[in-house]
Amino acid sequence: MADGATHVFSADALLFDNDGVLVDSKAAGEEAWREWAQEYGVEPGPVIAGSHGRRSVETVARHVPAERVEEATARIDALELAGADATRALPGAVELVASIPDAARAVVTSAPRALGLARLEAAGIPVLSVVVTSEDVAAGKPAPDPYLEAASRLGVDIGRCVVFEDSANGIAAALAAGAGVVVGVGASALGRGCDVVVLDLGAVRWTGAGVEVARALTVGDR
Q: Which residues are catalytic, by number?
A: 17, 19
Query: Which value, in Å, is the radius of gyration of the alpha carbons in the chain?
Result: 17
Residue 40: burial class (beta carbons within 10 Å; 0-12, 13-18, 19+): middle
Report how far residue 192's alpha carbon sits from residue 166's, in angstroms, rounded to the nearest whole number: 10
Q: Which CA distances in Å does 45 have to 51, 75, 114, 154?
A: 10, 18, 26, 38
Q: CA nearest 140: which of 52, 67, 65?
A: 52
Report how far residue 55's alpha carbon sits from residue 60's, in angstroms, rounded to the nearest whole number: 9
